[in-house]
Amino acid sequence: MNERVVALDARLTRQMSVGMKTYVRELVARLPEIVPEMRFLIYSNENLAARTSNARFVPVSPAVARNGGFGEQFVYPRQLRGGGADLIHYMSVYAPRRSPQAHVYTIHDLIHLRYPSYFSWKVPPYYRLVVGPVARSARAVLTDAACTVADLQRYLGVDQTRVRVVPLGVSGAFTLDDAQRVQRAVTIRSRLGLVRPFILYAGNHRPHKNLMTLVRAWQALEAPCDLVITEDGSLGVEDAGHKAGPGQLHLTGTIDVQDLISLYAGCAATVQPSLYEGFGLSVLEAMACGAPAVVAQTPVLLEVGGDAVDTFPPTDVPALTRALTRLLSDERHAEDRRRAGRERVQHFTWDATARATADIYREMLR
């Protein structure tokens, strides 16, 4: 039997989120080794060097790496066709409208269609003119969570029988033992001047993240406690956060991964109050670091967190305050959440994500 060739669209562009880029890098690093019977062509604007003999890096031009432009839509298909792959995996929503070969397509979520007012006016037309046609013509659409399957049919008209749910993984860098957690907690507290217990939110500040619910719940706490919010702060959060509360609001701005891990290690609790998530990878990363997690009762956060997280109705400020109060005052419960979280994340590894993806390739190439 002839060796089958899979092209990986591994372009990494400024429009892609950190999570999307992580997905691409983690799979590109694993798939050739996991599927030795196939040959891989890795198309990228970054040198994602292949570590196995069955993978070859294929550079793309800056024009091809520009999402939505002429290069992506007209030059790139010719380059892909010349590679002669049996199957193309478009690893993000940015893809040529007319694929030159059979393809599978990863769509992490449809937040741009569910909440279009939160994004540039250019985004909905791109989904209508490009993402929809690519998804409907795909042999399979890969998505992170079961709750996204209905969205794919509702917003893009994708037949649910062609959707494959492939959960994401957690990098080993986020896995800390107790000694590592304590040491990182001491270091980050000293550097940021955190003298009180602190609640952590890690993520962007778009409206669907529902940060004001978190700020108000924190302000209602009676026990002394700081609130740490990463990434660039919005004026609304900053203004509200500096009103009377049980401690100090810290807006860190953008931080690197190592500082994020240390904040997870040192926090009394991490909160994800979002009204909508594609997967909730940050919750898993927090639990891997030993942070007790409190999440809004939205479908994907419940799906990912399982019974290892405390939950609250998304806009119920008193309920979130009660959940945080319990974690701050009941060390036995907090330790139970840490243990449950570490057990939960063992079900989410990038090796498992890569193996499930490889099985889809095999299925599509039969």
Dump pLDDT digits (tens) for 265-310: 999 999 999 999 989 899 999 999 999 999 999 999 999 999 999 9
Q: Are residues 178 and 139 in the same domain?
A: no
pLDDT at site 194:
92
Helix (H) or strand (E) holding 294: strand 293-296
Q: Are residues 227 and 287 in the same domain?
A: yes
Q: What are phi and psi of 152, to 5 degrees?
A: -60, -40
What's the rounded Cα separation, in Å, for the pair 332 and 339?
11
* Same structural domain, 299 and 188: yes
Beta bridge partners of 253: 230, 231
Count the domains in the chain: 2
Tell me how far CA of residue 311 lies from CA of 11, 110, 366, in angstroms. Answer: 37, 23, 43
Token pair listed for 342: 């570490």
Residue 95 reports pLDDT greater than 80: yes
| Per-residue pLDDT, 323 | 98
Same domain, yes or no: 218 and 287 = yes
Whole-number pLDDT of residue 244: 65
CA distances from residue 296 to 159, 212, 313 in whole angstroms, order as listed: 29, 13, 6
196 and 114 both lie in a single domain: no
Closest of 23, 236, 251 to residue 143, by C-alpha: 23
pTM of the model: 0.90
Same domain, residue pair 42 and 156: yes
The residue among 193 and 320 whose pLDDT is bigger is: 320
Q: Do 322 and 357 have their domain in common?
A: no
| Shared domain check, 335 and 356 | no
Same domain, 206 and 329: yes
Residue 41: how many CB atoms within 10 A of its CB?
Answer: 20
What's the pLDDT at 168? 97
CATH code of the domain in which 90 resides: 3.40.50.2000
Range of the domain at 42: 4-169+349-364
Same domain, yes or no: 67 and 208: no
Q: What is the mean pLDDT of the chain?
A: 93
Which pLDDT belongs to residue 239?
64
- Judge if 188 and 200 occupy the same domain: yes
CA 144 → CA 180, 272, 293, 325, distances in Å? 30, 18, 20, 32
Is residue 203 domain-shared with residue 138, that is, in the same domain?
Answer: no
* Packed helices 257-266 and 178-192: angle between N→C axes, nearest 10 degrees: 100
Q: Which two tokens stand for residue 321?
A: 């305050």
- Residues 131-160: what's their mean pLDDT? 97
DSSP helix, strand, coil percent of the chain (3-state; round to 5) = 50, 15, 35
Instruction: State the sign of the Cα–Cα–Cα–Cα dihedral 56, 61, 67, 69.
Output: negative
Residue 312 backbone phi and psi in degrees, to 5: -155, 150
| pLDDT tens-digit series, residues 210-233 | 999 999 999 999 999 999 999 876
The answer to whether residue 339 scores a pLDDT higher than 80 is yes
For position 173, what pLDDT does the model report? 87
The amino acid present at 136, given as its one-letter code, is R
Q: Residue range 45-71: average pLDDT? A: 89
**Exposed e or buried b per residue across 172-197, where buried means at least 16 C-beta atoms within 10 angstroms of its C-beta:** eebbbeeeebeebbeebbeebebeeb
Per-residue pLDDT tens over the stretch 60-89: 999 999 988 899 999 999 999 999 999 999
CB-based burial of residue 286 (10 Å sphere; 0-12 exposed, 13-18 middle, 19+ buried)? buried
